[in-house]
Each structure stands twice: as C-alpha cells, then as structure tokens.
Amino acid sequence: MGLFSFLKGIGKKVLPGREAEEITSDIRESLGDQVKDLQVTFSDGTVSISGTVDSVAAREKAVLLAGNVEGVEKVSDNINVVVPAPEPVFYTIEKGDSLSKIAKERYGDAMKWKELFEANREVIKDPDLIYPGQQIRIPELG
C-alpha cells in the first residue's frame, strides 16, 4: 500500500470525467477476478484503488493500469494482499531503453527481457513498443 507517482501527460487516453470507470474496466478486463471488491475513484489527478488480491503481482499490475492513464498523476494504493510481500519495484522507461537493456541492468542477463514482458503484459502490449515516461514493474525472479 502506498502512494505512487506517474507522469500526468503520459498514458492511455480516456474521456475526461470517465477516468474511474475506464480504469475500473481496464483492471477488470486485464486482471479478471484477481481483484476482489474493486473500488476506483478519481479526483484532481489522483486515482484511489482498493480491493483484495492474492498476489503482489496482481496488486502491482492494478496500480500500473491505474497510473499509466493520461491525466493520472498519483495512485493511492489501498489494495490488500492476502499474503504479505515486499514493496514493488517500479521502473520508469527512459529514452534508449529496451526490455533487454533493462533486464541486463536489473538481472545481469539481457535474455530475461521475456520475464519483464510477461510481468507487464497488461501494460506492455508489444515488447518492442515501450516509451519514455511509461512505468513498469520489475519482478523478483523465482
């Protein structure tokens, strides 16, 4: 749980005034029933999300889906994880980055880009299409 910052002018475009509904729809579409009792509100650039999940990955993905929306500056995460876990590690894409470059820096192996892509599939639809300012999660490797 916490407050996460995002770049307000970057991300998926939504109709003004429909941010909460669109984010709710995106989370439900992408994560299905992984988020129980999902509640989303939007006010003055801040999304507040709450609910219950069974994994840290589902929580992190919900936060990223909410934050990677144009007009969102902050995400107040009030999602409860059934199993305690470490705080998420998010990374902001910089100019010149690729998933293989990030994997090399974070894991010491450029071929681990596939794990980054799979961990962020809901946010990154094509591994060759990432953009500066976009945020992704860096999962722990098992």
Looking at residue 77, which CATH number applies to its domain?
Answer: 3.30.70
Task: List Cα–Cα distances, 126 to 52, 81, 122, 129, in angstroms.
Answer: 28, 28, 10, 5
Q: What is the pLDDT of residue 132?
A: 95
pLDDT tens, residue by residue, 95-133:
999 999 999 999 999 999 999 999 999 999 999 999 999
Query: Does 34 share its domain with 94?
Result: no
Query: Does 17 share its domain with 77?
Result: yes
Residue 71 in domain: yes
Q: What is the mean pLDDT of residues 33-41?
A: 95
pLDDT tens, residue by residue, 40-92:
999 999 999 999 998 889 999 999 999 999 999 999 999 999 876 677 899 99
Residue 131 in domain: yes
Q: Which domain holds residue 95?
A: 90-137
Tokens of 68: 């990677």
Q: Residue 101 and residue 75: Cα distance in Å, rounded?
A: 27
Query: Does 70 share its domain with 12?
Result: yes
CB of 104 within 8 A of CB of 115? no
Q: Rounded to an integer, what is the distance from CA 126 to the centroid of its chain?
A: 15
Domain boundary among 37, 58, 81: 81
Q: Residue 134 and residue 97: Cα distance in Å, rounded?
A: 11
Query: Does 29 share its domain with 7?
Result: yes
Query: Does 20 share its domain with 51?
Result: yes
Residue 142 in domain: no
- Confidence class for position 141, pLDDT limits 50, 70, 90: confident
Q: What is the pLDDT of residue 130?
A: 94
Q: What is the pLDDT of residue 85?
A: 64
Query: Does 75 share its domain with 98?
Result: no
Q: Residue 98 and residue 100: Cα distance in Å, rounded?
A: 5
Query: Does 14 share its domain with 40?
Result: yes
Query: Does 60 share its domain with 119?
Result: no
pLDDT tens, residue by residue, 6-24:
998 889 999 889 999 999 9
